[in-house]
Amino acid sequence: MTSDNNHYDAIVIGAGPAGLTAGIYLSRARVKTLILNEGVVGGQMVLTHEIANYPGVESISGYQLANIMKKQALSFGCEIKSNIKIGDMDMNGNIKKVVLSDGTQFTSDAIIITTGGRSRTIGVPGEEKLKGHGISYCATCDGDFFTDKEIIVVGGGNSALEEAVSLTKYASKVTIVHQFNHFQAFEHAILEAKNNPKIDFIMESTIAGFNGDERLESVDIKNLKTGEVYNRKIDGTFVFIGYVPNTEFLKGKLDLNQWGEIVVKADMSTSIDGVFAAGDSITKRFRQVTTAVGDGTIAALAASSYINEIKKSK
Amino acid sequence: MLYTNLKHIESAADHAKILSENENVMVICGRMGPMCIPVYGIAEDLEGEYSHVKFFDMEFDNPESHVIRNLPEVRGFMGIPFTIYYKNGKVVKATSSIQTKDQITTILDKEFGAPVK
């Protein structure tokens, strides 16, 4: 059952910079707004140690900027529920419905989806079990645990190559494993990695499995050209294979592109009336805090206009 | 410096005092990095609900965090944060690296009991 208290003018799903901005704009316009967030408020922004290119703010940590945005949204009356799990959504029709995994239901006239993205994992046996026990996704966090040890870096983009170079400060040897015969990184990053004597490369290969009981002991490497799988002893593995949009729950419900990004028009409206999207989960080239904030603003203004029309027609 | 909204443990003496004065304690020892911040955020969210548990963080690079880094329960850990759950001053559970809210509440419920609603 949904009580009147659980009906909002707008529900924003996600509390990164796009979602918090939408919450600020909507609440300030006296649009009754609820932000539902499956993770920590701030999204990917909180993971940024220093933001020095956010106009008007010389330097701030992502965590602090997220806290200010949250405070701002709350001050205008926006409600925020974080670390929840969404069970189901019905976005068709004039009244949209969101059901949490604990059965709580919320309804709204409009929805703004700002679910962002997350680091991609390899998804092979042993990965979940050995995370934190030899498998890492953050060089600055865990690099020093691998001092004088041999490690593998998986990936071929800028993050993988730059982090591989930074990990040579600690590791005795770094092997980059990449699925293609070329890298996607910028030329300077490729050159820096190739010129580093501690780094070698295994191309056209992927990790097929991680082995070890209490800590990572070896990996299974699959040669994608020959299909051969062989075992290699290793102390650690760092994974940098890009980001995926958090849109799995939207498959079949609204238009996504081939990469799972939400297709939006210039006003951030989606293929469903009254459903808008903003931030890293939409189709776009540049993903920055500033672009997310811009998207969130546009989505909020468009949603606000949509809600006013709906209210007028009632 | 950890700029979370959790209470910070600054020294080994603070750590000992907290453990002696509280039955159920969770300490997250990390940095302001991508594996740690989600765990701090979950703890901040759970503080109100789990009023029978005291939540703290401690900076991994603070030399005083040897009280956590040298625990036998974290031997083999190779990813921060090190999250330690203490009952009456004894370690009952320790985890390495990022954890989900479900993983954390499962441990809290098992070791300290679910919150009374």
In the listed set A223, A239, A255, which residue is the last one of a domain according to the structure? A239
Q: Give the pLDDT confidence score for residue A47 in this predicted structure.
A: 72
Are A132 and B97 a contacting pair at CB < 8 A? yes
Residue B28 near chain A (CB below 8 Å): no
In the listed set A239, A263, A292, which residue is the last one of a domain according to the structure? A239
End-to-end CA, chain B: 35
Q: Give the pLDDT confidence score for residue A63 in this predicted structure.
A: 86
In chain B the domains, ranked by start, together with CATH numbers, are: 7-111 (3.40.30.10)
Q: Give the pLDDT confidence score for residue A1 in this predicted structure.
A: 46
The reply to whether A30 and A114 lie within a common domain is yes
The reply to whether A92 and A235 lie within a common domain is no
How large is the average pLDDT for residues B27-54? 92
Q: Give the pLDDT confidence score for residue A2 in this predicted structure.
A: 54
Chain B residue with Cα closest to A236? B78
Instruction: Report the distance separating Cα A39 and Cα A53, nearest Å.
Output: 25
What tokens were used for A94? 């004039």
Lowest mean pLDDT among A46-55, A126-135, B82-91, B105-114: A46-55
Question: Residue A286 is part of a domain; what is its CATH number?
Answer: 3.50.50.60
Given a contact cutoff of 8 angstroms between Cβ atoms, the answer to whether A304 and A109 are in contact is no
For A212, other C-beta atoms within 10 Å of its C-beta total 17
What tokens were used for A188? 């300077």
Q: Give the pLDDT confidence score for residue A11 in this predicted structure.
A: 98
The reply to whether A132 and A225 lie within a common domain is yes
Are B32 and A42 a contacting pair at CB < 8 A? no
Instruction: Report the distance separating Cα A294 and Cα A180, nearest Å.
Output: 35
Q: Give the pLDDT confidence score for residue A53 in this predicted structure.
A: 85
The reply to whether A146 and A228 lie within a common domain is yes
Q: Give the pLDDT confidence score for residue A3 in this predicted structure.
A: 62
Name which of A138, A215, A236 is nearest B35 (Cβ-Cβ): A138
- Per-residue b or e along A215-225, where b marks 16 or more CB atoms closer than 10 Å to that residue's CB: bbbbbbbbeee
The reply to whether A188 and A47 lie within a common domain is no
The reply to whether A253 and A298 lie within a common domain is yes
Are B34 and A82 a contacting pair at CB < 8 A? no
Q: Give the pLDDT confidence score for residue A181 in this predicted structure.
A: 96
Element (H, E) at A239: strand A236-239
The reply to whether A158 and A51 lie within a common domain is no
Chain A residue with Cα closest to B40? A40
Number of domains in chain A: 2
How large is the average pLDDT for residues B96-102? 91
The reply to whether A185 and A169 lie within a common domain is yes
Name which of A49, A83, A135 is nearest B101 (Cβ-Cβ): A83
The reply to whether A114 and A260 lie within a common domain is yes
In which domain, by residue range, is A25 found? 4-119+243-313
The reply to whether A84 and A131 lie within a common domain is no
* Whether residue A245 has a cis bond before it, omega within 30° of 0: no
CA-to-CA separations, A168 to A148, A149, A152, A224, in angstroms, rounded: 9, 10, 11, 27
In the listed set A197, A218, A239, which residue is the last one of a domain according to the structure? A239
Are A141 and B31 a contacting pair at CB < 8 A? yes
Q: Is the ipTM of this complex over 0.85?
A: no
The reply to whether A257 and A309 lie within a common domain is yes
The tens place of each residue's pLDDT in chain A, 314 residues long, gives 456 789 999 999 999 999 999 999 999 999 999 999 998 899 888 877 678 889 999 988 888 899 999 999 999 999 999 888 899 999 999 999 999 998 999 999 999 999 998 888 999 999 999 999 999 988 888 999 999 999 999 999 988 999 999 999 999 999 999 999 999 988 999 999 999 999 999 999 999 999 999 899 999 999 999 999 999 999 999 999 988 899 999 999 999 999 999 999 999 999 999 999 999 999 998 888 999 999 999 999 999 999 999 988 87
Chain B residue with Cα closest to A39? B38
What tokens were used for A43? 């999204």
The reply to whether A55 and A157 lie within a common domain is no
